[in-house]
C-alpha cells in the first residue's frame, strides 16, 4: 500500500514540478527582457552562461577528479551550439514578444519529434504546427489585426530553433563522450568564453553594475539552474515521454508569462498560432513515443547518478 501511495503521489507531484520548472524558465526570460535594454542580448547570454558555469563546474570537477574523461572536441561543439541558441533567442526577444519567440523556437525539437515518428500522424502534427507559425507570421495581414511581428525577430527565433536541434545533437554526443555534468559544465565555459568578449565590447561597464549582475544571476538561476535541477528529479520518477509532452506546453506558458509579467498583449491570430503549435507539440511527442524524446533528456537520468549525495536508482 505504501508503494502504491508513493507512486500515486509521484504521478501528481512530478508533473507539477515540471510545470513549475517551465514557469521559472519563462519568468527568467521575462527578467531577461527587462535586462536587454541595459546590456543587450549578448550581455544577457554571457551572464547566464558565466553564472551557470560557476554553478556547474564544481560538480564537474568532482567527476573529473574521479577520472572522468574530457573530450574538448565535443565540449566545444556543444558550447558553440548552446551559445548560438541563446544568442538567437535573446536577439528575438529584443524584437518580438516572449510567447511567439518560444513558439517558433520549439519548432526545432518538434521537427525532430515528427521525423522520429515516421508516420502520417507526425505529418499531420507538422502541418498543424506550420499553420500556427503561418498565423504568427501573417498576423498583421489578417482582417481585424492591428499588430504584426517583426520579421527580423521571427528570423532570429527561427535561428534559435535550428540551433536547438544542433544543441540536442551535440549534447547527445557530449553526453556519450563525457559522464555526468562534465560535458554541460565545459560547454557553459566554452559558451562564456565566446560570448563574454562580445558582450564586453557591446555593453561595456554596464555588465559589472551590481543591479545588472543581480538580474543576470536571477536569469541564470531561473532559466538554467532551477529547471535543470527539476529535470533531473522528474526524469527519475516519471516516463520520459510524459516529461517531453509537458515540455511541449512551453509556448503557452511563455505567452502567459509575457502577458502577466511584461504586459505583452497578443492578437487573436498570434494567440491561435501559439495554441496550434502547442497542441501540435503535445500530439507529435505523444505519437512518436519514446523515439521523440531528445537524448539529452534521457541522458539526464544518468547524470543524476554522478552527482554527489544523490542515491542510485533502486
How far is the first Cα of the chain from the last one, in angstroms, to the nearest whole number?
18
In this prediction, residue 254 carries a pLDDT of 93
296 in any annotated domain:
yes
In this prediction, residue 196 carries a pLDDT of 96
In this prediction, residue 125 carries a pLDDT of 81
DSSP 66: T
312 in any annotated domain:
no
28 in any annotated domain:
yes
Distance CA 172, CA 160 (A): 18
Q: Which long-range contacts (CB under 8 A, 24 or more apart) does 133-136 make?
A: 133/103, 133/104, 133/107, 133/273, 133/277, 134/273, 135/269, 135/270, 135/272, 135/273, 135/276, 136/100, 136/103, 136/104, 136/269, 136/270, 136/273, 136/274
The pTM of the full predicted model, rounded to 2 decimals, is 0.83
Return phi, psi of residue 149, to 5°. -80, 145
81, 177 in Cβ contact below 8 A?
no
313 in any annotated domain:
no
Give the total number of structural domains in the chain. 1
Segments forming the whole domain that contains residue 126: 17-306
What does the pLDDT profile of the chain (314 residues) look like in tens digits?
Answer: 455 554 455 566 778 888 898 999 999 999 999 999 999 999 999 999 999 999 889 988 988 888 888 899 999 999 999 999 999 999 999 999 999 999 999 888 777 766 766 667 777 888 888 888 888 876 544 444 455 788 899 999 999 999 998 988 898 888 888 887 888 899 999 999 999 999 999 999 999 999 999 999 999 999 988 887 787 677 667 776 677 778 888 899 999 999 999 998 888 888 888 999 888 888 877 766 544 444 333 333 343 333 333 223 23
114 in any annotated domain:
yes
301, 55 in Cβ contact below 8 A?
no
Q: Which of 213, 232, 225 is nearest to 24 (CA)?
A: 225
In this prediction, residue 118 carries a pLDDT of 67
In this prediction, residue 92 carries a pLDDT of 96
Q: Strand, coil or helix: what is 180?
A: coil
Distance CA 314, CA 304 (A): 13
112 in any annotated domain:
yes
7 in any annotated domain:
no
134 in any annotated domain:
yes
Amino acid at each position: 500500500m505504501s508503494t502504491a501511495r508513493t507512486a500515486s503521489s509521484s504521478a501528481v507531484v512530478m508533473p507539477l514540478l515540471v510545470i513549475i520548472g517551465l514557469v521559472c524558465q519563462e519568468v527568467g526570460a521575462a527578467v531577461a527582457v527587462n535586462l536587454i535594454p541595459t546590456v543587450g542580448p549578448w550581455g544577457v547570454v554571457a551572464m547566464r552562461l558565466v553564472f551557470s558555469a560557476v554553478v556547474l563546474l564544481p560538480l564537474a570537477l568532482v567527476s573529473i577528479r574521479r577520472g572522468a574523461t574530457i573530450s574538448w572536441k565535443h565540449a566545444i561543439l556543444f558550447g558553440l551550439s548552446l551559445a548560438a541558441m541563446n544568442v538567437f533567442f535573446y536577439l528575438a526577444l529584443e524584437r518580438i514578444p516572449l510567447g511567439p519567440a518560444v513558439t517558433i523556437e520549439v519548432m526545432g525539437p518538434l521537427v525532430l519529434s515528427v521525423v522520429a515518428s515516421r508516420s502520417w500522424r507526425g505529418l499531420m502534427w507538422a502541418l498543424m504546427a506550420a499553420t500556427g507559425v503561418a498565423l504568427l507570421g501573417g498576423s498583421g495581414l489578417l482582417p481585424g489585426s492591428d499588430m504584426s511581428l517583426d520579421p527580423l525577430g521571427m528570423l532570429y527565433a527561427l535561428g534559435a530553433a535550428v540551433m536547438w536541434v544542433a544543441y540536442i545533437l551535440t549534447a547527445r554526443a557530449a553526453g556519450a563522450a563525457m559522464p555526468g555534468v562534465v560535458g554541460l559544465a565545459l560547454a557553459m565555459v566554452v559558451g562564456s568564453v565566446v560570448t563574454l568578449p562580445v558582450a564586453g565590447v557591446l555593453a561595456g561597464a554596464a555588465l559589472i553594475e551590481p543591479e545588472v549582475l543581480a538580474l543576470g544571476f536571477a536569469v541564470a538561476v531561473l532559466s538554467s539552474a532551477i529547471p535543470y535541477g527539476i529535470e533531473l528529479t522528474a526524469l527519475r520518477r516519471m516516463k520520459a515521454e510524459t516529461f517531453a509532452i509537458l515540455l511541449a506546453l512551453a509556448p503557452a506558458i511563455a505567452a502567459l508569462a509575457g502577458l502577466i509579467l511584461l504586459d505583452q498583449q497578443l492578437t487573436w491570430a498570434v494567440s491561435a498560432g501559439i495554441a496550434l503549435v502547442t497542441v501540435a507539440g503535445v500530439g507529435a511527442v505523444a505519437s512518436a513515443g519514446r523515439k521523440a524524446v531528445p537524448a539529452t533528456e534521457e541522458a539526464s537520468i544518468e547524470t543524476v547518478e554522478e552527482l554527489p549525495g544523490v542515491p542510485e536508482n533502486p
